[in-house]
Amino acid sequence: MDNNKVLAVVNGREVTGEDYNLFINSLDPQLKAYFTQEEYNKDIVNELVYQQLLYEEAIENGVDKEEDFLKVLEKTKQSMLKTYSLGKLLSTVKITDEEMKEFYEKNKDLFIKGETAKASHILVDEEDKANEIYEKVKDGDNFAELAKKFSTCPSSERGGELGEFQKGQMVKEFEDAVFSNEIGTITEPVKTQFGYHIIRIDDKKDASTLSFDEAKDRIYNELKRKKEQEVYNKKVDELKEKYKVEIKN
């Protein structure tokens, strides 16, 4: 929303789009997603008005002059200034493509991607039911439709598709069945702690090394974290020389 848009006026004070945006950004991600479906939400505007009414009363009653409030205000100011100063310091950190490429070439062993597979499954609680469904699959019934109808796994909504996963991400019995069979295989029911699975192996890939482009975001985040820590430590060492510090038991 436009920061300058006036949404309401309370006792001569404007409630603006900037207030609206700040309120939205303070919400947790789920609520934020809900409230940002539309540019304007009446409930939020009403809440901002209610808060402004409380503010007006607080000013009228001199709450902003009370000693307890001034203490809280000072602590809040200190906290915000620390956070702002840290952000300003860390904003000086820059990562170049050359640095990322050099890191990639020197650390390719960090970017080895293990064997992966894609699979779909139908999960049921009882062995007899699993065997019955397996026979339907063998007879040519549509796997995805059977998954939607019978599977107790949330993946049933996608026809049983689990997407891509690496070795070590699934329980052993399930993983063994997937990686020991060929693409296109539909397994007999496999028992795990979750129940009985009829598994279709949709794809498999051997271990490989991620390309630079595939690893780029990961490299950037790693270098940024390291540089930020270095900049922070250097600044702290400088300030410890500048200001007296006493650590007391």
pLDDT at 32 over 90: no
186 DSSP β-pair partners: 200
Q: How many CB atoms lie within 10 A of CB 20?
A: 24
pLDDT in tens, 71-130: 999 999 999 999 999 999 999 999 999 999 999 999 999 999 889 999 999 999 999 999
Long-range contacts of 146-150 (CB under 8 A, 24+ apart): 146/122, 147/120, 147/121, 147/122, 150/122, 150/124
- CATH number given to 115-206: 3.10.50.40
- Confidence grade of residue 243 (pLDDT, cut at 50, 70, 90): very high
Q: Which residues contact 10 (CB under 8 A, 6 or more apart)?
A: 49, 52, 53, 56
Rg over CA atoms, the chain: 29
118 DSSP β-pair partners: 164, 203
pLDDT at 249 over 90: no
pLDDT in tens, 131-186: 999 999 999 999 999 999 999 999 999 999 999 999 889 999 999 999 999 999 99
- Confidence grade of residue 203 (pLDDT, cut at 50, 70, 90): very high
State mean pLDDT over 225-244: 95
Q: How far apart are CA 105 and CA 180, in angstroms?
A: 33
Does the pTM exceed 0.75? Answer: no
pLDDT at 34 over 90: no
pLDDT in tens, 18-30: 999 999 889 888 8
pLDDT at 224 over 90: yes
pLDDT greater at residue 179 or residue 39: 179
Contact 122, 143 (CB under 8 A): yes
At 235 the pLDDT is: 96
